[in-house]
Amino acid sequence: DAGITQSPRHKVTETGTPVTLRCHQTENHRYMYWYRQDPGHGLRLIHYSYGVKDTDKGEVSDGYSVSRSKTEDFLLTLESATSSQTSVYFCAISAGVVETQYFGPGTRLLVL
Amino acid sequence: AQKITQTQPGMFVQEKEAVTLDCTYDTSDQSYGLFWYKQPSSGEMIFLIYQGSYDEQNATEGRYSLNFQKARKSANLVISASQLGDSAMYFCAMREANRDDKIIFGKGTRLHILP
């Protein structure tokens, strides 16, 4: 158990509304990641962070922003949600000797 | 071009048989790591096994082993004596050197174990 929680676990929202997903870790890991999972695409990296206030874009960053003001929290914001952002969102941390990624339980987001 | 290719979208295997899930990768780095993850129907992502590019022996973790063939850029997951609980989606993934620990995932193979 890598001590990762995500909130909310499920969310239904309407197109055009802002949405913020939270990832919280308890073990002071430096690297944190946000992925989305869609059928036929596996997991795709949205944004990642390598420290407080240090973030960078991943493969599918358009329409998303992130913030990390504390080591333990990594926030993913959809500024104006669209139906194409309906997905399952996973947060991950990097830990261990070989820097394995461990995942949170996921957030299922439906944009109507 | 895909960096991680899993050519088997779905597989059906009889319980207690061994299973091999295929994974090929593409990289020009000499230093890289290969991972397998399991995602059961409940949705969580579970780390199974890791192989480093410089590891001379194939990685093993209980019933899981990784058949690493570096020259062929192949990293197949072998599950011995399959169980009903092995039914899940399996993802192969790769981390290249100096990429901020970023991991690239394949599209997955759905494994069904038949009683």
Angle at B47 between CA A84 and CA B43, to 5 degrees: 40
Query: Does the beta-carbon distance from B52 to A40 stay under 8 Å?
Result: no
pLDDT for B25 beyond 90: yes
How far is the C-alpha of A43 from the C-alpha of A24, rounded, in Å?
20
Cα dihedral A41, A100, A75, B100 sign: negative
Contacts of B102 in chain A (CB under 8 A): 33, 45, 48, 58
B44 near A CB under 8 A: yes
Residue reference for tokens 């990685």:
B59
pLDDT number for residue A26: 94
pLDDT for B2 beyond 80: no
How far B14 CA sits from the closest chain A CA (Å)?
25
Chain A residue set in contact with B, beta carbons under 8 Å? 31, 33, 40-45, 48, 50, 56, 58, 88, 90, 92, 94, 98-103, 105-106
Query: Does the beta-carbon distance from B44 to A50 stay under 8 Å?
Result: no
Residue reference for tokens 């990784």:
B66
Above pLDDT 90, what percent of chain B?
86
Distance from CA of residue A96 to its chain's centroid?
Answer: 20
DSSP secondary structure letter of residue A17: -
Q: Which amino acid is at A16?
A: G
pLDDT for B8 beyond 80: yes
Average pLDDT value for residue range B46-73: 95
Query: Does the beta-carbon distance from B108 to A88 stay under 8 Å?
Result: no
| H or E segment to which residue B1 belongs | none
Contacts of B109 in chain A (CB under 8 A): none
Q: Per-residue pLDDT for chain A (112 aa), expressed as one digit of tens each?
A: 568 999 999 999 999 999 999 999 999 999 999 999 998 888 999 999 999 999 999 999 999 999 999 999 999 999 999 999 999 999 999 988 888 999 999 999 999 9
How far lies A61's CA from each of A9, A28, A46, A66, A85, in Å? 21, 25, 5, 10, 11
Q: Is the CB of residue A65 less than 8 Å from the CB of residue A77? A: yes
Task: Say if residue B6 is exposed, middle or buried (CB neighbours under 10 Å; 0-12, 13-18, 19+).
Answer: buried
Query: Does the beta-carbon distance from B101 to A94 stay under 8 Å?
Result: yes
Contacts of A58 in chain B (CB under 8 A): 102
How far B4 CA sits from the closest chain A CA (Å)?
11
